[in-house]
């Protein structure tokens, strides 16, 4: 049985990467981009309003970084699956990245439909 689409919020200050991420999300059946944000503050605001199931969150953002934005976003909507994105090697992630509540880290070069499908968000409540 096909449920509601999985809404995704893409958060990145670089338009070219948001375009790539939008394309990748579009290749995942049943997923759609609900919105985009360029800063951590925008991400928290948009997520509170739209309640996306998945948030693709860049770590390095103007204003509050993606790690702090993840904490704030999850304080408002603990059901969201936040995936941190960056070009860092896993061993080079900021120390607080593992404690912010994100469900995964994906290097931007490794963002694929298969990696997103593996997240398996629960169906969104209407």
* Inside any domain, residue 1: no
**Could you give the number of structural domains in the chain?**
1
pLDDT band at 35 (very low <50, low <70, confident <90, very high): very high
User: Quick check: 22 and 36 in contact, CB under 8 A?
Assistant: yes
* Inside any domain, residue 126: no
- Give me the pLDDT at residue 121, please: 64
Taking only the tens place, the pLDDT of each residue in 79-114 is 999 999 988 776 666 667 777 888 988 899 999 999
CATH number of the structural domain spanning residue 104:
3.40.50.2300
pLDDT at position 1 over 50: no
Taking only the tens place, the pLDDT of each residue in 37-50 is 999 999 999 999 99
Q: What percent of the chain has pLDDT over 90?
A: 71
Distance CA(51)–CA(62), nearest Å, equals: 22
pLDDT at position 63 over 50: yes
- Give me the pLDDT at residue 93, please: 66
């Amino acid at each position: 049985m096909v449920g509601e689409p999985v809404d995704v919020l893409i958060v990145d200050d670089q338009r070219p990467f948001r375009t790539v991420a939008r394309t990748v999300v579009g290749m995942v059946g049943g997923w759609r981009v609900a919105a985009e944000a360029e800063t951590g503050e925008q991400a928290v605001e948009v997520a509170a309003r739209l309640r996306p199931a998945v948030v693709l969150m860049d770590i390095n953002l103007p204003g509050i970084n993606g790690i702090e934005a993840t904490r704030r976003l999850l304080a408002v909507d603990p059901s969201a699956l936040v995936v941190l994105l960056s070009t860092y090697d896993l061993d080079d992630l900021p120390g607080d990245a593992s404690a912010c509540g994100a469900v995964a880290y994906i290097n931007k070069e490794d963002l694929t439909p298969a990696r997103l499908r593996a997240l398996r968000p629960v169906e969104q409540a209407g």
